[in-house]
Amino acid sequence: MPYVAVSALSHPGLVREHNEDSLVAGPWTLCATVTESPQTLVFPLRSPVVVAVADGLGGHPGGEVASALVARLLARAGPVLGDEEAVREALSDCNRAVYQAAEGGDLTAMGTTVAGLVLLHDSVLVFNVGDSRVFAASSDGLRQVSVDDSPPLEPGQRTTSLVTQCLGGSAAHRDVRPHVTTVPLRPGDRYLVCTDGLTDPVTEDVLEAVMRENDDGRAAFELWHAAIQAGGPDNITLAVVRVGGDGSP
């Protein structure tokens, strides 16, 4: 039977005092906390398996609250996320839940990005809202399969902290238009799901080299280490996802 191995890690980095990132892998969540080393979980693909990261908005109150709420809602919804429309509805539900949680208190305008995968028995649903990313890793290299919700970069600019949409993030409710696509699933497929605490300080060629040279927990560790070596300016949350079974190693 096909299975998915998820090697995950979440760390505040070297500058931020708190970790406002969260992560979901199947029914398991890691919310606004710290892992000292990668944790690898294996799930049979009997039912949909969701793997996602959520990055609470910096400069807004309650970023860790928003990211944890979204991670837990996606973990709960995961087994029924069987097609693109179900994923869109779940992300819209998450958006409404963030706004509702912020009403009438000190968390006005709290928000979070989200990016991830839903692995089915024969396909993968890739989704995101915001600038957290999903990459597909293959023998041809690393390819971004999510769509950044960011304004155009200026000449010479490699990254930006601005996002054009997220879950929550404003005083008045705004609907979201999630990016959701479907790609085939094959044993041996590998993906990287991560917040911008990894992709801002670490260039894509370094990410590609690490994914090419390492698997599972070792890849997750080396990616985190690359972000730390680059100064660790933000929270770092990532999941290395590998599809196994049916003859794959």
Give the model's confidence band at 246: pLDDT under 50 very low, under 70 low, under 90 confident, else very high. Answer: low
pTM above 0.85, yes or no: yes
Is the CB of residue 8 less than 8 Å from the CB of residue 23?
A: yes
Query: For the CA atoms of 50, 95, 144, 247, what is the dihedral angle to 10 degrees?
Result: 10
Q: How many residues does the chain have?
A: 249
Residue 193 exposed, middle or buried by CB count within 10 Å (0-12, 13-18, 19+): buried
C-alpha count within 13 angstroms, C-beta hemisphere, residue 227: 27
Nearest-CA neighbor of 62 among 107, 9, 93, 6?
Answer: 107
Q: pLDDT by residue (tens digit) across 169-222? A: 998 999 999 999 999 999 999 999 999 999 999 999 999 999 999 999 999 999
User: Rounded to an integer, what distance in angstroms lies between the CA atom of residue 200 and that of residue 185?
Assistant: 28
Q: pLDDT by residue (tens digit) across 124-164? A: 999 999 999 999 999 899 999 999 999 887 777 777 878 99
Nearest-CA neighbor of 144 among 196, 90, 71?
Answer: 196
User: Rounded to an integer, what distance in angstroms lies between the CA atom of residue 175 and that of residue 189?
Assistant: 33
Classify 171 as helix, strand or coil. coil
User: Rounded to an integer, what distance in angstroms lies between the CA atom of residue 47 and that of residue 181?
Assistant: 19
Classify 166 as helix, strand or coil. coil
Nearest-CA neighbor of 116 among 169, 151, 85, 71?
Answer: 71
Q: Which two tokens stand for residue 75?
A: 């973990």
Residue by residue, DSSP assigns 97-123 as HHHHHHTTSS-TT-EEEEEEEEE-SSE
Q: Is residue 249 predicted with pLDDT exceeding 70?
A: no
Q: Which two tokens stand for residue 245?
A: 């079974």
Is the CB of residue 54 less than 8 Å from the CB of residue 15?
A: no
Q: pLDDT by residue (tens digit) across 63-91? A: 999 999 999 999 999 999 999 999 999 99
Give the model's confidence band at 247: pLDDT under 50 very low, under 70 low, under 90 confident, else very high. Answer: very low
Widest distance between CA atoms in the chain: 54
Non-local (6+) Cβ contacts of 21 within 8 A are 10, 32, 53, 54, 55, 56, 67, 195, 197, 235, 236, 237
